[in-house]
């Protein structure tokens, strides 16, 4: 009585096991597809970011860019009328430009001198003279470095 053979086989464990296996397989498939989509989306964003960043960060490149920015500032100061606009323009450029490591002291000294001219109600010609001196320092320093 206690030892009775079970004539009906229980297939429920096999069915639930196969369903669980199919669910795990589908989740892995969806993750693989999703991660490939993310990688495909990441590449254009990375390329776009790299296009905005300067590719060359050598000291000579930074010095050339700094010199170009100061020359542009000098030209803009010559065309701008009014000392208040001149000093606003100088502040904007002096705070936004990337300064070479060797020129940090000269940059700061020139900016402080320009601020003292501003307090004394000086003219834009005085600012142009200070910018010319700073540009000469850049040229002299990097001519020494290249020799």
pLDDT tens track for 23-32: 999 999 998 8
Share of the chain above pLDDT 90, in %: 10
Please report the pLDDT score of residue 20 as a whole number. 95
Quote the DSSP letter at residue 55. Answer: S
Tokens of 78: 């010559």
pTM to 2 decimals? 0.56
Query: Residue 82 pLDDT more than 90?
Result: no
Average pLDDT estimate for 42-54: 71
Quick count: other Cβ atoms within 10 Å of Cβ 137? 17
Query: Residue 16 pLDDT more than 80?
Result: yes
> What's the chain's average pLDDT?
80
Distance CA 65, CA 98 (A): 8
Please report the pLDDT score of residue 19 as a whole number. 95
């Amino acid at each position: 009585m206690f030892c009775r053979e079970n004539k009906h086989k229980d297939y429920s464990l096999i069915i639930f096991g196969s369903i669980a296996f199919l669910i795990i397989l589908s989740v892995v498939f969806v993750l693989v597809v999703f991660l490939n989509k993310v990688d495909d989306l990441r590449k254009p964003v990375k390329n776009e970011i790299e296009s905005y960043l300067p590719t060359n960060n050598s000291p000579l490149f930074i010095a050339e860019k700094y010199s170009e920015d100061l020359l542009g500032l000098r030209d803009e100061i010559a065309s701008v009328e009014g000392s208040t606009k001149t000093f606003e323009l100088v502040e904007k450029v002096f705070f936004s430009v990337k300064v070479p490591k060797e020129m940090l002291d000269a940059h700061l000294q020139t900016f402080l001198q320009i601020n003292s001219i501003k307090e004394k109600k000086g003219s834009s010609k005085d600012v142009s003279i200070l910018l010319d001196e700073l540009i000469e320092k850049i040229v002299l320093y990097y001519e020494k470095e290249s020799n």
